[in-house]
Amino acid sequence: MPEFQTSPGMRDILPPESARWRRFVEVFALTVERAGYGQVISPLLEDLGVFQRIGDATDVVTKEMYDFVDKGGRHIALRPELTASVCRAFVQHRPVTPWKVWYHGSQFRYEKPQRGRYRQFDQVGIEVLGADDPNLDVEIIALGWEFYRALGLTQVKLLVNSLGEPEDRARYVAALAAYFEANLHQLSDDSRTTLQKNPLRVLDSKREQDAAIIAGAPRIAEFYSEKAAAHFAAVQTGLAALGIPFTVEAKLVRGLDYYRHTTFEYQGLTLDSAQNALGGGGRYDGLVESLGGPATPGIGFALGLDRTLLACDDEGVFAAPAAEVSVFVVDTTGGAEALALTTQLRAAGIAADRAYENRSMKSQMKAADRSGATYAVIIGTHEIEAGVAVVRPLRAERTPDGEGTQSSVPRNLLIDHLQKALS
C-alpha cells in the first residue's frame, strides 16, 4: 500500500473515464445552451454564511460542511451545492432578469461514503432567477428529461409535486406536525427527532416502522390555495403537452423553507433505492432576499454526475469514448523524424502519437497496436533516403479498401494521403 491515497469518499478519475466525464458536461452544455442558458463559474469556497442561508435545519449545512477559518480569519466553506452560490452571484452582480444560467462542478459534503455517495461529487445544474411562470417550470423539468435522453438513459422516472404557496405550506406543516404528534408512539426514534426539527422531513423516512403512519398522513394537495392549484395544474398540462411522463408524488417535499410550488426529482430505476435520486430541483423564494438582494423568484435543478454515470453503466449506455489516436509514428532512426512528423500531423488535425527512448522496431510496433491507431507510419533509414514513409494499416477493417494493404507514400504527399485514408 502506498503511503498516500485519496481520502475517503474522494476519487481519482483517470482516463478513459475522465473523457466520459468531460463528454457528460459537453452534452449537458449543448442541451441547456440551446435553451439560452449561460455558464456561471463560481468559486469553490464561499463565506460559510452563504450556505447557512440555505437552511440551518439540513444535514448538508449542520453536519456535512467542510468549513474552516482561513489565514485572514474568515470562516469559509467548500461549497456543498451551487444554488446558494448562484444566488450570491446574482445579488453581487445584479444581472438582467430572467437570469438563465447553468453550472458544473465539484461539491463537498462530509457524508458516509458508499456506492453513489461520495464526499466530493460532481453536479451539473441550471437556475433561473426572476421569472415566476409555470411554463418555465416545465422548460426546466423538460431540459433535465431531454438530457437523460441524450445520454441514452431510459430507466428514469420523473416525480413531481407542489408545495403550494408559503401560507399553504405553513398550514400543511402545522397539520402534519399535529398528525405526527398524535401518533408519536408509532414513529421511529429517528423520525421523532426529525419531527422536532422539520415535520416535512419525516415524510422522507425510509424506515419500515414509519411506513404505515406516513401513508396515513395528510396530503399537501388538500392545502393548496387556488393560485397554487392553478400553477401546479399548468405545470402538469405543460409536461403532458410535451409528452413527458410523470408521476405526482405527494411525499416529494423538499425540506428547505425556501421551496414553494413545483418540486421534482428524477429517479434512476436501476439504482439502489437509498441512492436512486439522479437529480432534483424546484422553485424557491426568499433565497436571493436572504443574501441581501431584492425579492426574486428562483427555480432550478442539480443533477449528480457520479450517480447518473452509474445508471448509464447499468443500462449499458454512454460508454467512455475510446482514447485512441489515428496515426502512430514508428521511427527507427533515433526519434527526431517522429518528433517532426507527429507535430506536422497534429497541426493538420490528425491525432498522432509515437514511442520514446529509441526502442526497437518490434517494441514500437507493439506500442502502435496498443495505441488503437488506424495506421502506423514507419520511417527507417531506407525510407529517409527514398523520401518516403511506409503507411501500414493496423486495422484492416477500418481502411478504405477494407484489406489493409501497406503502401509506400512520398513524404510530401503523406499528410494528404492520411487525411484521405482517415476520412
Name which position in 89, 213, 302, 376 contacts ligand AMP (CB under 6 A): 302
Of the pair 280, 393, the CB lying nearest ligand AMP is at 280
Name which position in 55, 105, 144, 304 contacts ligand AMP (CB under 6 A): 304
Contact call for residues 118 and 306 (beta carbons, < 8 A): yes
- Is the dihedral angle over the CA atoms 298, 299, 305, 306 positive or is it negative? positive
Name which position in 280, 282, 286, 298 contacts ligand AMP (CB under 6 A): 280
Using CB under 6 A as the binding rule, whether residue 172 contacts ligand AMP is answered as no
CB of 184 to ligand AMP, least distance (A): 28
Cell matching residue 121: 461529487
Stretch binding ligand AMP (CB under 6 A), from 12-20, 66-74, 94-102, 118-126:
118-126
- The closest alpha carbon to 407, from 397, 419, 398, 418, belongs to 418
Of the pair 164, 300, the CB lying nearest ligand AMP is at 300
Q: List phi, psi (to 5°) of 279.
A: 180, 165
Stretch binding ligand AMP (CB under 6 A), from 88-96, 110-118, 204-212, 291-299:
110-118
Name which position in 46, 210, 306, 337 contacts ligand AMP (CB under 6 A): 306
Stretch binding ligand AMP (CB under 6 A), from 144-152, 199-207, 275-283, 332-340:
275-283
Q: What is the rounded CA–CA span in Å between residue 86 and residue 281? A: 14
CB of 109 to ligand AMP, least distance (A): 5
Of the pair 71, 206, the CB lying nearest ligand AMP is at 206
Name which position in 201, 283, 307, 354 contacts ligand AMP (CB under 6 A): 307
Please, which residues bridge with residue 303 across strands?
124, 279
CB atoms within 10 A of CB 352: 23
Using CB under 6 A as the binding rule, whether residue 384 contacts ligand AMP is answered as no
Using CB under 6 A as the binding rule, whether residue 127 contacts ligand AMP is answered as no
* # residues contacting ligand AMP (CB under 6 A): 16
Cell matching residue 183: 401518533
Using CB under 6 A as the binding rule, whether residue 118 contacts ligand AMP is answered as yes
Using CB under 6 A as the binding rule, whether residue 81 contacts ligand AMP is answered as yes
Using CB under 6 A as the binding rule, whether residue 204 contacts ligand AMP is answered as no
Name which position in 121, 145, 259, 328 contacts ligand AMP (CB under 6 A): 121
**Which residues does 122 contact at the CB level (< 8 Å), separation at least 6?**
21, 104, 105, 106, 107, 304, 305, 306
Residue 168's Cβ-count burial label (10 Å; 0-12, 13-18, 19+) is buried
Q: Which helix (H) or strand (E) holds 327?
A: strand 327-331
Task: State whether residue 274 is helix, strand or coil.
Answer: helix
- DSSP track, 188-225: -HHHHHHHHH-HHHHTT---HHHHHHHHTSPPGGGG--
- The closest alpha carbon to 315, from 151, 115, 158, belongs to 151
Using CB under 6 A as the binding rule, whether residue 117 contacts ligand AMP is answered as yes
Using CB under 6 A as the binding rule, whether residue 25 contacts ligand AMP is answered as no
- The footprint of ligand AMP (CB under 6 A) covers 81, 109, 111, 116-118, 121, 123, 277-280, 302, 304, 306-307
